[in-house]
Amino acid sequence: MAHKKWGKSNGTVLDVFQGRAGRANAAIFEVLARESPQTIKQLLKRITTYEGLEETYYASLTKRLRNLTDTGLIEEMKPNPKGAPTCYKLCVKAILANGSRDNVLVEGSIGELLQATFPDGIILEVVGKKGILRINLAEYEIKKTTDQNQNGGKQL
């Protein structure tokens, strides 16, 4: 039996961003990351400003939204009053590399904040009533940014 050699990963490209629909899916994520929730009409208006997506049809966008909802990457929010439009927002499962592999967006809710600590100095652990968020962010990096902001330095 042959053994696979494990090496440094070059990253993973999500299937949702592959092929013809990938560009539309990426635009949907970007729009929803900037402002959520959005109706289909609001999404369509913003997405058609993207290069190559100017001719996007309402039906095509509906199909993309249904697919992303089925995969659990966005959430469909049903309206309370009759006649109100359905809205969409990103789900916690939606982890997106925005432009480079270093920028990651995670949207969700861990509920009311209970505690935020650095258990081992290099991982920020934020504990909420509904979950825990761990971020590879050292304590000195936060202090450096805070000191720069207090001294009139640029924000990160």
| Per-residue model confidence as pLDDT tens for the chain (156 residues) | 444 445 544 444 556 777 778 888 888 988 888 888 899 999 999 999 988 899 999 999 999 999 888 888 888 888 777 778 889 988 765 544 334 345 555 666 777 888 888 777 777 788 888 888 877 776 777 776 556 656 665 444
What's the CA gap between 62 and 53, in Å, rounded? 14
* Cross-strand partners of 156: none
Kindly list the strands in the beta sheet with 87-90, ordered across the sheet, starting from the edge strand earlier in the chain. Answer: 38-39, 87-90, 74-77
What three-state secondary structure class fits 141? Answer: helix
pTM: 0.54
**Domains with residue ranges and CATH for the chain:** 15-106 (1.10.10.10), 113-150 (no CATH)
Task: Tokens for 65, please give them.
Answer: 């939204």
